[in-house]
Chains A and B, each alone.
Chain A
Amino acid sequence: MQPNKKSMTGAALTALAVLATGPAHGQTRTGAAAFGDWTTDAPGVTRKVTAADMPAPYATPSAGAGSAVVDKPAGAELHTLPGFSVTAFAKMDGPRLVRVAPNGDIFVAETNNGRVRVLRAADGATQAQATETFADGLDRPFGIAFYPPGSDPKWVYVANNNSVVRFPYQSGDLKARGAAQVIVAKLAQDGRGHSTRDVAFSADGQKMFVAVGSGSNVAEEMPAKTAAETAAWQADHALGAAWGPEVGRADVRVFDPLGQGDQVFVAGVRNCVTVTVNPTTQDLWCATNERDGLGDNLPPDYATRVAQGQFFGWPWYYIGDHEDPRQKGARPDLADKVSVPDVLFQPHSAPLELAFYTAKAGPAAFPADYRGDAFVALHGSWNRARRTGYKVVRLKLNNGIPTGEYEDFLTGFVVDSKSVWGRPVGIAVAHDGALLVTDDGGDTLWRVAYSGAH
């Protein structure tokens, strides 16, 4: 189906909030210039943050600068690159993670309402044409995955705050056709701390990955162990696995699709909000929120490939061999075993969902240059004096290998130093090639389509 040009220039255009800007296209901000704040955001601005750019802990105080969410001010617009257009695709109630079924139906977790909704639209449509509640009565659902991988999934898996369940599914279902089956009854000893969970399957359908964020900022309530106790713990646990109330947390875990064989796949990822497989390379990726309380520019949040047995530092280290002063001296054995993530974001950006751009065709498909890259929704900072995040960025990959650079793709949610009118959470690629972005500040599902020359 071709895009309906007439409707795009009609009512939907009033919701069109586009200002194509991009004078900085092609430049990459590095070093201190890569930090900054929202005032230096604009589509096309590219940043590359490296571990060498990090200041010392406490170089600045730990800020409490959460954003006030306000109604969209008159004249406020979202900004994207030339050739792209943005529309309000649907109004929702606290939309969070979004994933698209093989048939194009759009599944959205409305986490705080305990439900998963499904939206449907024809290819090219600028607004959703039907919305149904797929399942409700769930416990803060976030992650969604279709199983088995491929064109004809039979189950929809949902990661609740403290369980994984699945619903029987046939392509085209807008309501779950049966009751939930419990796949993992309990993910952690309690639900405290980071509350989102995500679920993904390996391309062969053999492995189920579940990301479980830490129960705390930096394991403040994890009891101390002596060196001998630590060595004994480490001897029969995954590298860097935490203990006490943090057992099984700050991890990506791996199970079989029926929830058996629970193991820690990677440890020390403080809060891997998205775990997803790059469909091109089959690499597993995490989009991760790093810790608070060390100052405005520390430590960077990150997106990275993760491989079995890796350890990313939490709670003892961050971004490689950088010891957290609050855990000083606790784990000298781990100092040289900490992986450095692939792509570092401005500290406190809060990367939530990450999705790979895969569309090859469709009325809204992006230029071929985007294929194989990733998009990440940055929900935005509170622990930083000058606001950052509140935008969607593109991660550059060469043949599946991230370059470490990320480019502003969708900006404009920030009003001023106190207020924002939207907060991006979820990212997915629609059946027609458009990029879908959920916004739980403005309660909107946005659609970004390419309408320039192919």
Chain B
Amino acid sequence: MRPMIARAVALGLVAVAGPTLAQSPPGDASLGQSLFQDRCGMCHVIGGVGMGPDLTGVVGRKAASVPGFNYTPALSSSGLTWTRANLDRWLTDPRALVPGTAMRVKVLNEADRRNLIAYLTTLSKR
């Protein structure tokens, strides 16, 4: 057994079907913020209008629920709630989760997704 895995087992982090978000260590919101500025900020303006919807308060809210934003029918009828687990699936491949969404950006790295979600969690509704 490689040391890193041994350590993970000792910490009780290894799941049978591989690590899931709930069992992962919490993300780093400040790394997530910088990643957000790099990868997301051109379309998603926090507290403002952009190509994508405002993500203030996104964690925990229903998908496609920012008033006035022109969502795709696909996302509007998805029935999703933006739990951390759903955000992780969404960021991994938005169109695999919601075929027909306009969201194109994929975040392929798991740690990046975790950090982004940690940042999004800080954007509580003002």
Contacts and interface: CB of A to CB of B under 8 A. Distances in A.
Interface of A: 62-71, 94, 112-114, 190-195, 382-383, 418-419, 440-441
Given A190-B37, A190-B38, A68 B102 contact: yes
A417 to B, nearest CB: 9
A113 B100 CA distance: 17
B105 interface: yes
B2 to A, nearest CB: 23
Q: Tell me the dominant secondary structure on chain A's binding face.
A: loop
A56 to B, nearest CB: 21
Given A192-B38, A194-B42, A69 B102 contact: yes
Contacts, number: 56
A66 B51 contact: yes
Interface residues of B, number: 24
Interface stretch (B8-16, B69-77, B80-88): B69-77
Given A190-B37, A195-B42, A418-B70, A113 B50 contact: no
Interface in B34-85: 34, 37-39, 41-42, 49-52, 68-74
B106 interface: yes
Interface of B: 34, 37-39, 41-42, 49-52, 68-74, 100-102, 104-106, 108
Contacts of B70: 65-68, 418
B37 A192 contact: yes
17 contacts: A64-B49, A66-B51, A66-B69, A66-B70, A68-B71, A68-B102, A69-B72, A69-B101, A71-B100, A112-B104, A190-B34, A190-B37, A191-B39, A192-B37, A192-B38, A192-B42, A419-B72
Contacts of B101: 69
A68 B72 contact: yes
A63 B48 CA distance: 11
Nearest to B36: A192
A259 to B, nearest CB: 22
Contacts of B106: 112-113
